[in-house]
Structure formats: structure tokens, C-alpha cells
């Protein structure tokens, strides 16, 4: 390649990698002096990633209705916006995640045929296991055991968009995995769902425990019922005879995520006013620029008035003191405000989501926070912030995910029907309440014990750097090219995704995006974030650094 040419590697090519590639194409413009991009991902469906793989189980649904999947239009033409690409789909439908993956894969395939002149994109179905600096460039190692290793590069820029890299087991999981091996018990991860479906074909009549009761656990419940041929008629579950006899999901509090509003009319009740959004924006900027000790309270104070207004309009408890107490409890101990039992809380949440009862303080605040997610990312991701502020803000956002990343109301209706049918038995259980026996895991709650002889782990690893065992990431960490922002957080990065080393300076040519940057960024698990401001900033920085012709 001639003067001005540039070589770029994108390691991890799921939705976020596609967002980065599209941003790069936009920045390069119609012609380039020579841009060569290598994409690395072992998954068979490029741009979809494992979570949205088109061959995954159709019972694993998006937690967004079709009407809210407003991804930006494809770069350079190609498939329509997903809602149009789906065809005549109910706007309130929660479609399988596999459908989104098929759309993203088609979007990538079309982009390949519309690249600017002088730009090449090469896809490698390989797992990158190492990266080393060669002066100001990078070489990548592919450690595939069958026919490797191979060396790739040199690259001027390497973007790591790895999704969820491999992590080590926590102490409980490691102990349980060893216990399962010793007694020939089944212990499986929730994903990939296709593997779980195959294994579950032999679980009829058995008791299956599910570690966790979040969105992934709801996928597992669907897989073990609908995925094995069961169905619902008139709100009642009709078994296939192939499902487990009992399914026992458990978590620290025994509560499922809150349901999203059932339709657009209910959802509109929680829309913030323009001036309320402006106040929150100012509060976020003040919080991130101010002392860490007051950051969360500054943000919460800006939530009180919008929450009170919505509560007044919908017939809820609009007392300012009640809203303030709820937010104070959330800052100190997320979820501690919920004192109802599992079934009572589930029924109440469904009624709120359907608009049959006035919403609670928590439901209103949670839906406001969901609608403010784009603003939160825009402000937070564009500012430097102290590590302590990052820990407080990301912790608050993580706690509110039980609302802002809530489940389809239909999924929770099904869960309630399964509980009422005695097939699902949710429990609140902490480690001391779980005894390991040769037959499995004895779970005890409310003086009732049940032994699960199969265990499915649905708890996702934390978005932090410390537990990652992926050799690519650990090698970069050992070389001090990737360092944690603080305990429990991801890597320290600049606002355009540049990795910041131990000395706080940018590591030339190394960039990060996604869960690995939690703390430097926030609310990054959304599909919308994959096509957001970080990919645009990254692409602008890369192109500007080489003086390439830019799009106008």
C-alpha cells in the first residue's frame, strides 16, 4: 500500500464491531488513499455475535419491542431499518434475538459490496489470542490449536470489541463445577441456547436449578418449557411431557426483572418533558465534574420532580419525601425497597406494565431512567470522571437495570403461569442456604427444601477487567497496555476509546469498545450503544490521524 495507507484490525466482530466498521466507512468517504481492515471473530455469523446468532433458539427474545428498535440507517444503503426489514410485524412484538442477528448479518454482507474505492475488508474466522507492539504498530497472534498459530499484521490500529471475553469462575461457581464433576451431575451455562436445548432433552422428570433470576434466567425457563414443545393456551401452560418436572430459579432476593410497559400508550405515560431532560443533563455534567461523594445525589435530585409529575398524572404516590426515600435507598442498597414476595411482586409489576394500576415510585423512576439511557451515554461517555464517581454511577445504573433493561410483559405472564402450575418454583437463596449433596444442590427457603440434580448458571460475569482470563486481554494487562479504571470496573479509556496505560497516556494504536470499558463508559450493554458515539469518535480519530479523505 502506498503513502497514506492504513491497516486496521477489529478483533471481535459482533454488533459493536459492525458499528465500528460502518463508522469507519462513513469517515473514509467515497474514496480513500488505501484502507485495509481485517476482521477477526470465530463465530460463524459475522456482525451477529453469539448472543444474536441467527441459529439460536427462537424462544430467546429481545427485551425491546419492534417499535423501539430504532437503529441508525445502514451505511451506504443496504437492508432497511430493522422494523422495515422484518416486514409486517406487530410493533409491540418482542421478536427472537436470532432475527436481529440475521438482520445485522445481512447489513454487513451488503456493506461489503458497497465499500469506498480503495478500501478492503477481510473477514477471518479466527480467535486472536495475543497482541504485541512492534514500534508504533501491532502484531496479532492467532492461537487456533488445529492449524495455528498464525501471525497477523502489522497493524496501525487495533480495536478490541470483544463483547464478553472469557472469565474465570467465581468461588461459588468453581466449587459447584468441581462438585458436578465429582458426582457426574449436569452443570451448564445458559448459553449457547442451542446446546442447552440439546442437553435438556434428557432432563424430563428431573429438577433443574437456575442460578440467577435475571433476563438470562428467563431465557432458560423459556428454553426448558417452550423450547421443549410446551405452549400456552388461554394463559395456562400446556406441557409437552419433555420438560423438567420442576424448575427452580434462585437469586439473593428471588425477584424477576420488572416488565416493560405493555404497549406504546402505557409507555407514553413515562415520557420526560424537554425541560426535565435538560435538568438531568445539567445534573449529570455537574455530578461528573464535581466531588465523587455528591455525584449520585446530584443526579437523583434531578429525578425527583419528573417522577412526582408522572406519579401525580397516573394516580400514584407523588409525595416528594417518598420519592426521595426511594432514591436514597437505591443509592445505598439497590432493590432493598422491594419487600413483597416473589409472586406478589410479579403480579404487581405486570399490572403496572399493563396500566391497570397506578405505577409505583420504583416503576416510574425505572422507566424514566430507561428513556434517559441515550442521554446518559452521551454525557457520561464524553467526559472524564474520577474513578470513585465512575464506581458510584455505574453501580446505580446497574441496579436500575431491573427496570431499564426489563423483560417483555408476555414473558413474565408466562413465568407467573408456570409458577401457578407448580412447574417453576422461584426462591430467594444465598450461599449458606445451598447445600451440596451427592444428588445435586439442596436449596432451602422459607423452611422448604428441594434438591436440584441439574444446575444451569445464568449469572453473567461482571463488566470488569479483573476476572477476565482471555489470553489476549490478560497479555495486554500484563504489559500495562490495559489497566482497570478502578476495582470492579473495566479498562481505562479516553472518550474516543483509546486505551490508557498505567501512566495515564494513550497506548498508540490500541482502542477498546464494549463491556471491557465499563466505568470509562456506561450503559454499554444496549444494542443501540453499538452504533453510538464511541464508534464515531474512534473512526474520526483513526482517519484524522492518517489525513485520509473524509466524508463531508
pLDDT per position as a tens digit, 77-134: 777 778 888 887 788 999 999 999 999 999 999 999 999 988 999 999 999 999 999 8
Per-residue pLDDT band for 386 (boundaries 50, 70, 90) equals very high
CA distance 486 to 121: 36
Cis peptide upstream of residue 149 (ω within 30 degrees of 0): yes
Residue 298, domain member (yes or no): yes
Task: Indicate if 13 and 126 belong to the same structural domain.
Answer: yes
Using alpha carbons, select from 148, 138, 100, 131 the residue that is nearest to residue 6. Answer: 138
pLDDT greater than 60 at residue 416? yes
Pick the last residue of a domain from 360, 382, 404: 404
Residue 17 sits in the same domain as residue 123: yes
User: How far apart are the C-alpha atoms of 180 and 169, rounded to whole Å?
Assistant: 14
Residue 2 has pLDDT above 60, yes or no: no
Tell me, yes or no, whether 19 and 140 share the same domain: yes
Task: Determine, yes or no, domain membership for 288.
Answer: yes
89 vs 408: CA distance, rounded Å: 16
- 3-class SS at 343? helix
Of 404, 421, 439, the domain-final residue? 404
Residues 208 and 310 in one domain: no
- Convert 153-186 to b/e letters by CB count within 10 Å (16 or more is b): bbbbbbbbbbbbbebeeeeebeebeebbeeeebb
More confident: 106 or 33: 106
Grid coordinates representing 85 are: 426489514
The 10s digit of each residue's pLDDT in 238-257 is: 999 999 999 999 998 899 99
The DSSP letter of residue 272 is: P
Quote the number of domains for the chain.
Answer: 3
Check whether residue 429 and residue 390 sit in a common domain: no
Each residue's pLDDT tens digit, 167-203 = 999 999 999 999 999 999 999 999 999 999 999 999 9
Using the predicted structure, report yes or no on whether residue 144 has a pLDDT greater than 90.
no
* Residue 476 resides in a domain: yes
Mean pLDDT for 287-299 is 96
Residue 228 pLDDT greater than 70, yes or no: yes
First to last CA, the chain: 24
Given 367, 383, 404, the domain boundary residue is 404
473 part of a folded domain: yes
In a domain, 179, yes or no: yes
Query: Is residue 319 domain-shared with residue 346, that is, in the same domain?
Result: yes
Q: CATH number of the domain that 13 lies in?
A: 3.50.50.60
Same domain, 398 and 321: yes
For the chain, the average pLDDT equals: 93
Please state at what angle helix 292-314 crosses helix 320-332, rounded to 10 degrees. 140
Q: CA–CA distance from 293 to each of 27, 101, 297, 392, 434 (Å)?
A: 40, 41, 8, 9, 37
What is the DSSP secondary structure assignment for residue 318, as one 8-state letter? Answer: -
When pLDDT is cut at 50, 70 and 90, the band that residue 489 belongs to is: very high
Instruction: Provide the 8-state DSSP code for 226.
Output: G
CA angle 147, 152, 156 (to 5 degrees): 165
**Cα distance between residue 7 and residue 14, in whole Å:** 20
What is the predicted pLDDT for the residue at 30?
A: 67
Judge whether 476 and 459 are in contact, CB under 8 Å: no
Quote the CA–CA distance of 434 and 442 in Å, as a whole number.
6
For 504-550, write each residue's pLDDT tens digit.
Answer: 999 999 999 999 999 999 999 899 999 989 999 999 999 987 765 45
Q: Do 14 and 32 have their domain in common? A: yes
Distance CA 541, CA 508 (A): 12
Q: How far apart are CA 394 and CA 387, in angstroms?
A: 10
Same-domain check for residues 542 and 484: yes
Q: Does a structural domain hold residue 154?
A: yes
Q: Is 131 helix (H, G, I), strand (E, B) or coil?
A: strand
Q: What is the pLDDT of residue 547?
A: 63
Res. 364 pLDDT band, cuts 50 70 90: very high
Angle separating helix axes 15-28 and 533-546, nearest 10 degrees: 40
Phi, psi of 275 (to 5 degrees): -70, -30
107 falls within a domain:
yes
| Domain region containing 431 | 171-257+407-457
Separation between Cα atoms, residue 507 and residue 501, nearest integer Å: 6
Phi, psi (degrees; rounded to nearest 5) at 423: -85, -40
Nearest to 453 by CA among 441, 471, 444, 466: 441
**Of 204, 17, 211, 10, nearest in space to 108 by CA:** 17
The reply to whether 43 and 121 lie within a common domain is yes
pLDDT bracket for residue 164 (50, 70, 90): confident
User: Are residue 205 and residue 224 in the same domain, yes or no?
Assistant: yes
Q: Are residues 200 and 249 in the same domain?
A: yes
Backbone dihedral angles phi then psi of residue 298, each to the nearest 5 degrees:
-60, -45
Domain-embedded: residue 552: no
* 32 pLDDT more than 90: no
Which one has a higher pLDDT value, 552 or 538? 538
Amino acid at each position: 500500500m502506498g503513502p497514506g495507507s492504513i491497516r486496521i484490525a477489529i478483533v471481535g466482530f459482533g454488533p459493536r464491531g459492525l458499528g465500528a466498521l460502518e463508522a469507519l466507512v462513513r469517515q473514509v468517504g467515497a474514496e480513500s488513499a488505501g484502507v485495509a481492515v481485517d476482521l477477526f471473530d470465530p463465530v460463524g455469523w459475522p456482525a451477529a455475535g453469539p448472543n444474536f446468532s441467527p441459529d439460536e433458539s427462537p424462544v430467546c427474545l429481545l427485551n425491546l419491542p419492534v417499535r423501539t428498535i430504532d437503529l441508525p440507517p445502514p451505511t451506504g444503503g443496504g437492508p432497511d431499518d430493522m422494523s422495515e426489514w422484518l416486514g409486517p410485524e406487530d410493533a409491540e412484538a418482542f421478536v427472537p434475538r436470532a432475527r436481529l442477528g440475521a438482520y445485522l448479518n445481512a447489513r454487513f454482507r451488503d456493506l461489503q459490496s458497497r465499500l469506498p474505492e480503495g478500501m478492503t475488508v477481510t473477514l477471518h474466522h479466527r480467535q486472536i489470542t495475543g497482541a504485541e507492539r512492534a514500534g508504533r504498530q501491532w502484531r496479532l497472534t492467532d492461537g487456533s490449536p488445529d492449524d495455528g498459530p498464525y501471525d497477523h499484521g502489522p497493524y496501525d490500529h487495533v480495536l478490541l470489541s470483544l463483547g464478553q471475553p472469557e472469565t474465570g469462575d467465581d468461588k461459588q461457581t468453581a466449587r459447584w463445577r468441581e462438585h458436578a464433576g465429582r458426582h457426574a451431575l449436569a452443570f451448564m451455562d445458559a448459553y449457547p441456547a442451542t446446546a442447552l436445548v440439546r442437553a435438556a432433552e434428557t432432563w424430563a422428570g428431573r429438577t433443574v436449578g437456575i442460578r440467577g433470576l435475571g433476563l438470562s434466567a428467563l431465557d432458560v425457563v423459556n428454553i426448558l418449557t417452550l423450547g421443549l414443545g410446551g405452549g400456552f393456551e388461554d394463559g395456562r401452560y400446556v406441557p409437552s411431557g419433555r420438560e423438567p418436572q420442576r424448575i427452580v430459579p434462585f437469586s439473593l432476593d428471588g425477584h424477576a426483572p420488572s416488565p416493560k410497559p405493555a404497549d406504546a400508550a402505557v409507555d407514553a405515560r413515562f415520557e420526560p418533558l424537554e425541560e426535565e431532560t435538560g435538568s438531568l443533563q445539567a445534573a449529570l455534567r455537574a455530578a461528573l465534574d464535581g466531588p465523587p461523594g455528591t455525584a449520585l445525589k446530584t443526579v437523583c435530585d434531578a429525578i425527583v420532580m419528573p417522577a412526582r409529575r408522572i406519579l401525580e398524572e397516573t394516580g400514584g404516590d407523588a409525595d416528594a419525601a417518598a420519592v426521595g426515600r426511594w432514591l436514597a435507598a437505591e443509592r445505598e442498597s439497590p432493590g432493598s425497597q422491594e419487600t413483597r414476595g416473589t409472586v406478589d411482586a410479579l403480579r404487581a409489576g405486570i399490572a403496572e406494565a399493563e396500566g391497570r394500576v397506578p405505577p409505583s415510585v420504583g416503576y416510574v423512576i425505572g422507566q424514566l431512567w430507561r428513556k434517559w439511557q441515550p442521554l446518559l451515554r452521551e454525557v457520561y461517555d464524553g467526559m472524564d470522571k474520577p474513578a470513585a464517581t465512575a464506581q458510584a454511577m455505574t453501580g446505580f445504573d446497574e441496579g436500575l437495570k431491573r427496570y431499564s433493561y426489563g423483560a417483555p410483559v408476555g414473558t413474565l405472564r408466562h413465568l407467573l403461569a408456570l409458577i401457578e402450575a407448580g412447574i417453576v418454583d422461584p426462591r430467594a437463596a444465598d450461599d449458606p442456604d445451598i447445600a451440596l449433596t451427592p444428588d445435586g444442590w439442596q436449596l432451602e427457603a422459607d423452611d422448604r427444601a428441594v434438591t436440584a440434580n441439574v444446575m444451569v448458571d445464568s449469572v453473567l460475569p461482571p463488566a470488569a477487567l479483573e476476572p477476565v482470563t482471555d489470553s489476549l486481554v490478560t497479555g495486554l494487562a500484563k504489559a500495562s497496555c490495559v489497566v482497570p479504571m478502578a476495582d470492579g470496573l473495566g479498562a481505562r479509556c479516553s472518550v474516543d476509546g483509546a486505551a490508557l496505560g498505567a501512566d495515564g497516556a494513550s497506548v498508540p494504536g490500541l482502542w477498546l469498545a464494549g463491556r471491557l470499558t465499563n466505568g470509562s463508559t456506561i450503559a454499554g450493554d444496549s444494542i443501540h450503544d453499538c452504533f453510538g458515539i464511541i464508534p464515531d469518535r474512534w473512526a474520526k480519530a483513526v482517519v484524522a490521524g492518517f489525513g485520509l479523505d473524509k466524508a463531508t
